[in-house]
Structure 1
Amino acid sequence: MKFDESMIITGDSDEIMPQLVEDGIRFDLILTDPPYNLNKDFGNDSDSLPMSDFLDVSRARINSCASLLSDYGSLLWFGIHHYIGFHQVMMYEAGLNYRRMNIWRYENGFSRSKKVPRGEYEPFLWFSKDSKRWTYNADDVRVPYKSTERIKNPVWYTNSKGERKQWKPDPRGAMRGDIWEYPTLAGKAFEKERTSHPTQKPEALFVELLKAYCPKDEEGQYAGMVLDPFLGSGTTAAACELLNAEGNHIQYMGIELEERWTAIAQERVNQTRNNRPLF
């Protein structure tokens, strides 16, 4: 298979990823939201597997992802608290290097049960190919300071050279933590972005993830090659296109089993290329 430009493929990633490995194609970032095995209706039985089958399939997928990463590439894998521990172990076993367990937190979720706490988050794992080098553009994803009260008085520290220095707040904002707060696509506020896909993620969240984990070219623009082997309704592709509309150069490949979702994904890409307004 050739990968010369951004592309969306209708097909089975469990078959396509091993072929990409054999063809020598590598990606700087794999950003994906695979089925959680919670019996969601994606138009097939991919989310309703017996536990043993789900673990076997997950292991094979993670091994393929590990083989598809470039030398300093990263894997971002969304999951659910039910099974994320299994996936974390599988990534260690695949030879990847643990960087962080991140949390996508949302406050606009709702509960269908009074027997357990209301769900307000989904975890996603970050593992890198190399143990010492990877991409994380910390300054690109800074967040506003919650308060400046604590910095009214000077804050002093000693640097690595033994020099006494005064810390001042960065005008770009505070360093982002490992909790990424973005609302789900619920309610009227998100009706223009929301599709019929049952587990669609927010574009705003994925744009920030790309800004954090995509390598940059010599001009400082986001570049590199991105893979989403479980593209769904196309949020990863749409987020890449939104950044490319600002002058960046991200190439991406999205793989999705169901044709109806790839059709929606391609429509979202086309809308962005035709100057759909940013958020």
Structure 2
Amino acid sequence: MIQPFYNNKLIRLYQADSLEMMKTLPEESVDVVIADPPYFLSNGGTSNRGGKQVSVNKGDWDKVTEKYGDSERFNDLFLSETKRLLKPNGTIWVFGTMHNIFEIGYLLQKHKYRLLNNVTWQKLNPPPNLGRRMFTHSTENIIWASKSIKSKHYFNYDLMREYNGGKQMKDVWSTPVINKKERTFGQHPTQKPISIITRMIEASTTEEMTVLDPFVGSGTTAVACQILHRHCIGIDLSSEYLDIAKRRVQYEEGNLF
């Protein structure tokens, strides 16, 4: 078993190929998976950041490698392995955009997951569309699915209703993108707001449960689990991003000033 990059009483971070690392974890050992898999968009094009045109390339981690062939094979292997790791009543949350979410949805059904919700995350301050040839991209999708049709998944309905002013919470969540505080120790190009991750964890876990994030990046899932007193296993190939994750977790522990 590979040694953790960092660990404390709640959090274990590993530097490894996610798909290979998951094979070493025991069957039915995690309650919830939160995953933001590569979108495989690093193709030499351009994007927008802070109103400026920049390269769309995010790093080698966002490129299809010869080892996995193409995005469908990668995601197929990923969702097959998470199915093995989830407990019978476990659930999985998967982020995506129009570039990969339809493939993810198809593969979830192929592996006999039960689709629970397709949450739309509306970004209140998205970057403008510099090309002016299509609508501004301002949303991402988060598919929430249970391990099987027979699963009796956990959902903290009452807490979500309380957060929504006593009304049922809907599947459109509107928040800003990450703020400056969340970038204190550095940032990941596809980093998600901690408010979104916190809501997902509070909705689908209790304190004794374990969350797996196989693409933990700069550690938002681990940070949210530290704050909410959940156990978390995070995996990433990049020591640079894991170092950011480590420092963020240590800050929440009170061990980094």
Match of 1:237 in 2: 222
Task: Give the structure 2 partner of residue 223 of structure 1.
Answer: 208
Moved more, 23-32 or 98-107: 23-32
Aligned to 2:123: 106
**Counterpart in the other structure of 1:121:** 139
2:64 match: secondary structure? coil
Correspondence list, 1:1-279, <5 A: 1=1, 5-20=10-25, 23-24=26-27, 26-39=29-42, 41-44=57-60, 46-49=61-64, 53-110=70-127, 111-132=129-150, 133-142=152-161, 172-185=165-178, 190-194=179-183, 195-214=186-205, 216=206, 222-244=207-229, 250-274=230-254
How far did residue 112 of structure 1 move? 2.8
Relative to 1, partners in 2 of residues 1:143 and 1:112: Cα closer, same or farther, differing over 3 Å?
farther
How far residue 77 of structure 1 moved from its aligned partner, in angstroms, is 0.4
The change in CA–CA distance for 1:41 and 1:26 in structure 2 (over 3 A counts) is farther
Bigger-Rg structure (1/2) = 1
Question: Is the CA contact (8 Å cut-off) linking 1:6 and 1:252 kept in structure 2?
Answer: yes
CA 267–144 in structure 1, closer or farther in 2 if over 3 Å, else same: closer
Distance 1:106 1:268, change over 3 A: same
What is the Cα-based RMSD across aligned positions, in Å?
2.3
Unpaired segments ≥5 residues, structure 2: 43-55
In structure 2, how many angstroms separate the alpha carbons of the residues matched to 1:117 and 1:80?
A: 14
Normalising by structure 1, report the TM-score. 0.77
Aligned residues: 232
| 1:91 to 1:116, Cα distance in 2 relative to 1, 3 A | same
CA contact (8 A) 2:218 2:244 kept: yes
Q: Is the 8 A contact 2:124 2:138 kept in 1?
A: yes
Q: Return the TM-score normalized by structure 2.
A: 0.83
Q: Percent identity?
A: 29
Q: Are the equivalent residues in 2 in contact too, given 1:242–1:272 (CA < 8 A)?
A: yes
Distance in 2, matches of 1:206 and 1:142, equals 17
CA contact (8 A) 2:41 2:57 kept: no
Per the TM alignment, residue 92 of structure 1 is displaced from its structure 2 partner at its CA by 1.1
Q: Give me the whole-angstrom Cα distance separating, in 2, the residues matched to 1:144 and 1:27.
A: 26
The equivalent of 1:165 in structure 2 is none
Partner SS for 1:252: strand
Deviations 1:242-261 (A, max 9, x none): 112xxxxx111000110000
> Of Structure 1 and Structure 2, which has the larger fraction of its residues in strand?
2
Greater CA drift, 79-88 or 66-75: 79-88
